[in-house]
Structures are given as structure tokens and as C-alpha cells.
Amino acid sequence: MRVVRFESAHLAGIDWIERERTKEIGFGRAFAAYDSNPGWSLLDGDAFVAGGGIVIPYAGMGEAWVIASPLAQQHSLAVCRAARLGLDEFALGFKLVRIQAMVLRHHITGHRFLEHLGFERECLVRKYGLHGADMYLYAMFPGETPNA
């Protein structure tokens, strides 16, 4: 396992991404933002396991994202470690005071993952996500104790 700087090219060949790219949902714009902001990819040999990063819309604020391949479940501990280290590094390096993330309302694994990383659920955002999906907004505040 190795962690490298994220490049959208790492996602080539992941079936669900290839299918979604054919739809008009803005993946190209998202990938451009991911490529131009701090991010990491976890690779098993040459196989993409997961990637994540932070999009920084303005000073002090970060929007976290993660894309997991089917291999992520087999390497869940490594994915969690890479995400935790990435969040800590980006928060410190970019002096972030808030990091937020969105997860689909029905994606239980995503909720557990964010909570494991120290995010707190803030609210339901209706008809927000791709294809008008309901999503939950989570946030963490680097340097603060969760639930403080």
C-alpha cells in the first residue's frame, strides 16, 4: 500500500465512475477541483483503493471529499488512516478552522466513516446532491474537542 498525490487519472477503469461520467452531473468540473487542491490516493500496487482531499473555497474553510473503489472495503483500516492523516495535514498546513463534508442520506457506511473521523452531523440538506439527492452536512473543527 502506498499513498500518493491524488490525480483524477487514478480513477480510470472504476466501473461506476465510468458509467456516471456519461451523465451530465459535473464530474469533470469536480475532478478539476480535486486535481487542483490537496488530495491523496491510496494504491494497492497500481490499483486505486480510495482517494480523498480538501477543496478550499476560501481561507480557513475546507470541503472534504472521498471516492472509494470496491477495494476500499478490503482495506478499510488503511483508508481510515490515510483519511485521518490527510485531514490532520491539510488542516494544519492550510490553517483550516472548519472542514465540512456531505454524505447521501441513505449511505450508512459514509455516515459511520465521517463520524469515525470526528465529523459531527449538522443538518439534512434536501435535494442537494447529484440527481437531486438528499444529503447530510457534517463538520469538524480542527483543534477543538468533538461535541465541545
32 part of a folded domain: yes
Least Cα distance to 62 among 26, 31, 89, 82 occurs for 89
Q: Tell me the residue range of the domain where 82 lies.
A: 2-99
Q: Structural domain tally of the chain?
A: 1
Can you give the pTM of this predicted structure? Answer: 0.81
Per residue, the 3-state secondary structure of the chain, as one string, reads CEEEECCHHHHCCCHHHHHHHCCCCCHHHHHHHHHCCCEEEEEECCEEEEEEEEEEEECCEEEEEEEECHHHHHHHHHHHHHHHHHHHHHHHHCCCCEEEEEEECCCHHHHHHHHHCCCEEEEEECCCCHHHCCEEEEEECCCCCCCC
| pLDDT tens string 21-60 | 444 455 566 666 666 778 888 999 988 899 888 989 899 9
Residue with more model confidence, 40 or 144: 40
The C-alpha atoms of residue 39 and residue 12 are separated, in whole angstroms, by 17
- Number of residues that make up the chain: 148
Residue with more model confidence, 97 or 46: 97
Average pLDDT, the chain: 84
28 part of a folded domain: yes
24 part of a folded domain: yes
| pLDDT tens string 58-84 | 999 999 988 888 888 899 999 999 999
- pLDDT of amino acid 24: 45
18 part of a folded domain: yes
117 part of a folded domain: no
Above 70 in pLDDT, residue 93? yes
Q: Which pairing describes strands 47-58 and 61-68: parallel, antiparallel, or unpaired?
A: antiparallel
Average pLDDT over residues 89-97: 92
